[in-house]
Amino acid sequence: MARTYREIAIEEMLGTVEEAMSQVVDWWEDLPPPMKEAIEQFRIQLGAAIDSVEFVKGAAVHESQSSAFTSPQRG
């Protein structure tokens, strides 16, 4: 199954966050549970942000397509 832009973006950003957290606490095996919980919250918020952008982008495309079919009014 092909991965979506959303899935790829979340994976890459989470990898960056996890690596940064590991370096900060110098924890090379596994992150402590509170950090894992913070990462999961970040995952949820990042997904919601990406969904919002996609929604607005879709609405803008729809708006531009519908206005392309509307003829300008002449006065």
Residue pLDDT, tens place only, 18-69? 888 777 777 656 778 888 898 889 889 988 888 888 877 777 776 777 766 5
Question: What is the pLDDT, as a whole number, of residue 69?
Answer: 58
- CA 4 distance to own-chain centroid: 11
pTM as predicted? 0.51
Apex CA 14: angle with CA 9 and CA 16, to 5°? 100
Question: Tell me, what's the pLDDT at 72?
Answer: 57
Q: Is the pLDDT of residue 73 over 80?
A: no
pLDDT of 74 over the 60 cut = no
- 37, 50, 45, 39: which is closest to 6 by C-alpha? 50
Domain ranges of the chain: 5-66
SS3 content of the chain, % helix, strand, coil (to 5): 75, 0, 25
